[in-house]
């Protein structure tokens, strides 16, 4: 699963605002800092303002700031509001399901459990946790001293099962 650019930018806006709570920040400032289109950010900021997460002030000296404390903004809630579709497979939506395996397939249950676990982990983390402005938290599955990085994901993205010996393998 990959998050959309929209969700990525939404998280960046919120993180930037959380890191700069002492002042108003501007869309131009965020756009320049992250090399993102101002027009794209305006749509995101409008959505966040409509949801009651950001306060926006127009005009000279205007800008935006968080309306809620970073500790009150759960990452899972942000993802749910920014992403449009969490149907991992066709059978997650009964109205469009045409898969002939649905009556006997157990994959839907496995993927549904995985999605619930994904959101349980994200719901346990707040904007405060990911910006480092509050006390460090450790998730049930990852220690703060051993963060997941792109490099570590490329080296070993998933745990592997040991190979079984076979005719062509010792």
Q: Domain with 64 in it: what CATH number? A: 1.10.10.10
Residue 101, pLDDT score:
78
Q: How confident is the model at residue 146 (pLDDT cuts 50, 70, 90)?
A: very low
Q: How confident is the model at residue 133 (pLDDT cuts 50, 70, 90)?
A: low
User: Quick check: is 154 in a domain?
Assistant: no
User: Quick check: is 23 in a domain?
Assistant: yes
User: Quick check: is 84 in a domain?
Assistant: yes
User: Quick check: is 33 in a domain?
Assistant: yes
**Do the Cβ atoms of 142 and 153 come closer than 8 Å?**
no
**Do the Cβ atoms of 123 and 106 come closer than 8 Å?**
no
User: Quick check: is 137 in a domain?
Assistant: no
This prediction has a pTM of 0.72
18-22, 60-64, 84-88: range with lowest mean pLDDT:
84-88
User: Quick check: is 79 in a domain?
Assistant: yes
Residue 134, pLDDT score:
53
Spatial CB neighbours of 14, under 8 Å, sequence gap ≥ 6 = 48, 53, 54, 66, 73, 78, 127
pLDDT in tens, 29-45: 999 999 999 999 999 99
The residue range of the domain holding 35 is 5-131
């Amino acid at each position: 699963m990959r998050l959309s650019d929209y969700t990525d930018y939404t998280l960046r806006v919120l993180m930037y605002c959380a890191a700069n709570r002492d002042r108003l920040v501007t869309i131009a400032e965020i756009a320049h800092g992250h090399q993102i289109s101002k027009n794209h950010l305006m749509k995101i900021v409008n959505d966040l303002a409509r949801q009651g997460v950001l306060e926006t002030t127009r005009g000279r000296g205007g800008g935006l700031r968080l309306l809620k404390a970073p500790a009150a903004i759960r990452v899972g809630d942000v993802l749910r509001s920014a992403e449009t579709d969490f149907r991992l497979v066709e059978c997650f939506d009964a109205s469009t399901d045409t898969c002939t395996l649905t009556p006997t397939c157990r994959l839907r249950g496995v993927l549904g459990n995985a999605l619930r676990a994904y959101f349980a982990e994200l719901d346990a983390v707040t904007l405060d946790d990911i910006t480092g402005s509050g006390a460090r938290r450790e998730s049930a599955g990852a220690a703060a001293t051993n963060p997941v990085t792109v490099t570590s994901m490329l080296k070993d993205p998933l745990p592997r099962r040991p190979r079984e010996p076979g005719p062509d393998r010792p």
